[in-house]
Amino acid sequence: MRTAQLRAFFLAAAALSLWTATAGQGGPPHVAIAIHGGAGTILKADMTPEKEAAYRSKLAEAVAKGYELLKEGRSSVDAVEASIEVLEDSPLFNAGKGAVFTSAGTNELDAAVMDGATLKAGAVASVRHVKNPISLARLVMEKSPHVLLVGEGAEAFAKRCGMKLVSRSYFYTEHRWQQLQDAKKQAKDAEKQPAQHSPRVHGTVGCVALDGAGHLAAGTSTGGLTNKWPGRVGDTPIIGAGTYADDATCAVSATGQGEYFMRGVVAHDVSALMAYKGLPVAQAARSVIHDKLSKLGGTGGLIAMDARGNVAVSFNTEGMFRATTDGDGKPVVEMYGENGP
Amino acid sequence: MRTAQLRAFFLAAAALSLWTATAGQGGPPHVAIAIHGGAGTILKADMTPEKEAAYRSKLAEAVAKGYELLKEGRSSVDAVEASIEVLEDSPLFNAGKGAVFTSAGTNELDAAVMDGATLKAGAVASVRHVKNPISLARLVMEKSPHVLLVGEGAEAFAKRCGMKLVSRSYFYTEHRWQQLQDAKKQAKDAEKQPAQHSPRVHGTVGCVALDGAGHLAAGTSTGGLTNKWPGRVGDTPIIGAGTYADDATCAVSATGQGEYFMRGVVAHDVSALMAYKGLPVAQAARSVIHDKLSKLGGTGGLIAMDARGNVAVSFNTEGMFRATTDGDGKPVVEMYGENGP
Cα gap B237→B245, rounded to integer Å: 13
**pLDDT of residue A200 exceeding 90:** no
Contacts A239 to B, Cβ<8 Å: 238, 241, 262-263, 265
Interstrand relation of B148-150 and B120-127 (parallel, antiparallel or unpaired): parallel
Q: For residue A205, give the nearest of A292, A99, A305 by alpha carbon.
A: A99
Per-residue confidence (pLDDT) for residue B89, from 0 to 100: 98
Amino acid at A254: A
Q: What is the pLDDT of residue B248?
A: 98
Give the tens place of pLDDT for each residue, A283-322.
999 999 999 999 999 999 999 999 999 999 999 998 999 9
- Cα–Cα distance for residue pair A323/A66, rounded to 1 Å: 11
Q: Is the pLDDT at A89 greater than 60, yes or no?
A: yes
Burial B134-153, CB ≥16 within 10 A → b, else e? bbbbbbbbeebbbbbbbbbb
pLDDT digit string, tens, across residues A46-55: 788 999 999 9
Residue-wise pLDDT tens digits, B203-260: 899 999 999 999 999 999 999 999 999 999 999 999 999 999 999 999 999 999 999 9
3-state secondary structure A44-109: HHHCCHHHHHHHHHHHHHHHHHHHHHHHCCCCHHHHHHHHHHHHHCCCCCCCHHHCCCCCCCCCCE
ipTM rounded to 2 decimals: 0.90
Q: Which of A239, A253, A242, A251 is nearest to A214 (CA)?
A: A251
> Which chain A residues contact residue B193 at CB under 8 A?
145
* Regions of chain B with pLDDT less than 70: 1-29, 188-201, 338-341
Q: How confident is residue A42, by pLDDT bands cut at 50, 70 and 90?
A: confident
Q: Do A268 and B263 count as a contact with CB atoms less than 8 A apart? A: no
Cα A168 from Cα A131, distance rounded (Å): 10
- Which chain B residues contact residue A264 at CB under 8 A? 119
CB contact under 8 A, A160 and B269: no
Distance CA(B243)–CA(B235), nearest Å, equals 8
Contacts across the A-B interface (CB distance below 8 Å): 154
Q: What is the DSSP letter of B285?
A: H
Helices (H), chain A: 3-22, 49-71, 76-88, 133-143, 151-160, 174-186, 258-263, 266-277, 281-286, 294-296
- A180 close to A105: Cβ distance less than 8 angstroms: yes
Percent of all residues in chain A with a pLDDT value above 70, rounded to a whole number: 86
For residues B84 and B207, what is the distance between their CA atoms, to the nearest angstrom? 7
Q: Which domains does chain A have, with CATH numbers?
A: 3-334 (3.60.20.30)
Query: Which pLDDT score is estimated for A50?
Result: 94
Interface with B, mutate which of A147, A155, A270 (most B CBs under 10 A): A147
Cβ contact (<8 Å) for B240 and A244?
Answer: no
Percent of chain A with pLDDT over 90: 79
**How far lies B302's CA from each of B4, B67, B211, B275, B288, in Å?**
24, 19, 20, 18, 10
**Sequence-separated contacts (24+) of B195-201 with Cβ below 8 Å:** B195/B225, B195/B226, B195/B227, B196/A145, B196/A146, B196/B225, B196/B227, B196/B228, B196/B257, B196/B259, B197/A145, B197/B257, B199/B40, B199/B225, B199/B226, B199/B257, B200/B40, B200/B41, B201/B38, B201/B39, B201/B40, B201/B41, B201/B42, B201/B94
Neighbours of A68 (CB within 10 A): 15
> Is the Cβ pair A233, B150 closer than 8 Å?
yes
Which residues make beta-bridge pairs with B221? Answer: B111, B205
Q: What is the pLDDT of residue B336?
A: 87
pLDDT at A74 over 80: yes
Query: Considering only CA atoms, which of B200, B207, B211 is closest in space to residue B323?
Result: B207
Interface touch B259/A156, C-beta < 8 Å: no
CA B336 to chain centroid, in Å, comes to: 16
Mean pLDDT of A322-334: 95
Give just the sign of the alpha carbon dihedral A315, A321, A325, A326: positive
Residues of chain B neighbouring A194 (CB-CB closer than 8 A) = 145
Kindly list the catalytic residues of B. 204
